[in-house]
Amino acid sequence: MVRLAASFRFRSVSVVSAVLAAVLVLQGTATAASGGLDTTFSGDGQQFVNFGGADDFGYAVAFQSARIVEAGITGAGVHEDLGLTRLTARGRVDTTFGRNGRVRTDVAGNSDEMSGGLAILQSGKILVAGDSRMPSGQEKIAVVRYRPNGRIDRTFGGGDGRAFASYGSQNAFGYDVVVQSDGKFVVVGESDSSPTSSSFLLVRFRANGGIDKTFGRNGFVRTRFGAGFSAAYRVAATPGGKFVVCGWTQAKDKSFDTAVARYRPRGRLDSTFSGDGKVITRLSSTGDDYCNDLALRSGGRAFLGDYLKHGTNQNMAFIQYRSDGTLDPGFSGNGKLILDFGGPDHVSAVALQQDGKILAAGAAGSSTFAVVRLRPAGRLDSSFGSGGVATAPLRGSGGFAYDVAVQPDTKIVVAGEAADGSHDFAVARFRR
């Protein structure tokens, strides 16, 4: 099993050099401009939440009506548990949620992980998916459901608000979740086939937390791309009920390439996508690239945000596929784009604005808490931030951006962690 570190969780590709002085001095962006911090949010556009004790990392963000929910890990490096916090629309910690605005859940008595599996249900309940180490030592996909106020929802799972899944005796890791209109939900991740190989893993649950055995084989779908490691990292559902899943797979030369699969509603690979339902794309002949997020655009197009490591260089990368699984030349000329801001750049998450513009959160140049905006066809949007990049100063000592979402009022929310002796949940809100 190959698991990306949470902090990171050639052409045919156009490499765009964006190492400009205006981009590297980003924290001076005027707050009233597009991409400036929204000072109606917590006074300076930023909020930080500490759970007490060891380090805390916020990996995912979602909206619960006008409130902002951030989920991640608390107690990192000591005893890792799921952590949630909720902020008001004005950026204050919502003390009506959990205990003083914070929820900490020890899911199975050992270390717990989550890297993006967060969903808010129509009822306002909160679904968090990740994985937990069981007392036996086996890793299992773990899902926890909370009531809207942050209390465990004991009507879910085994009466304790928890549901677990594994593929036989193999270790199983959960990375993302998508909820269907009927309340069922699919968790994606990976299962270990052997010490040297793993597979895409999809599991569908019923709304009450039971395994939906009408999906795949007894509720599970495993997909191999090759003999090495493969992992499904992000999932999105199409209007027709299909599932688009992206991640990575290991090639024969031991490098990693972007892997995408599309599944029919009952879990079969969709042969109308690339002939067999699977696509592998290599962005660098000698480097590694990993899909860290995806978004579905109009016409069935799948847009991916990638992390590309080529030698000592790390770049933001993007790929767009047409509905048939071929690369889309309408994006950046050939469906691929690499952005080099001169630092350890990478994409953690992507989101779409209503006007078709694309947001990518992660690291850009000298900032590790940044959001980049692209025009629909793949050019940097120079009207946003400084040269298309906006950043948050956090507390002056760094941090990391892991997720991005667009509020109904079009403001942009970026979630992650801030470093200042310890690591805390961090949220920044930017003007559109």
Closest CA to 174 of 208, 145, 133: 133
Q: Model's pTM, two decimal places?
A: 0.93
Radius of gyration of the chain (CA): 20
Burial class (CB in 10 A: 0-12, 13-18, 19+), 184: middle
List pLDDT tens digits, range 296-329. 999 999 999 999 998 889 999 999 999 999 999 9
List pLDDT tens digits, range 117-151. 999 999 999 999 999 999 999 999 999 999 999 99
Q: How confident is the model at residue 11 (pLDDT cuts 50, 70, 90)?
A: very low
Q: What secondary structure letter does DSSP report for 356?
A: S
What residue type is 256 in one-letter code?
Answer: F
Distance CA 131, CA 189 (A): 9
Using DSSP, state whether 198 is helix, strand or coil.
Answer: strand
Q: At 202, phi and psi to the nearest 5? A: -125, 135
Distance CA 200, CA 229 (A): 9
List pLDDT tens digits, range 375-391. 999 999 999 999 999 99
Q: What percent of the chain has pLDDT over 90?
A: 84
Judging by DSSP bridges, how do beta strands 197-205 and 220-223 pair with one another? Answer: antiparallel
What are the boundaries of each domain within the chain? 12-58+342-432
List pLDDT tens digits, range 143-160. 999 999 999 999 999 999
What per-residue confidence (pLDDT) applies to 116?
86
Distance CA 189, CA 422 (A): 29
Distance CA 54, CA 77 (A): 7
List pLDDT tens digits, range 411-429. 999 999 999 778 999 999 9
Half-sphere exposure (Cβ direction) of 362: Cα atoms closer than 13 Å: 35
Task: Name, in order, each residue with C-beta under 8 angstroms of 122's C-beta and a sequence gap of 6 or more.
Answer: none
Half-sphere exposure (Cβ direction) of 131: Cα atoms closer than 13 Å: 26
Q: What secondary structure letter does DSSP report for 180?
A: -
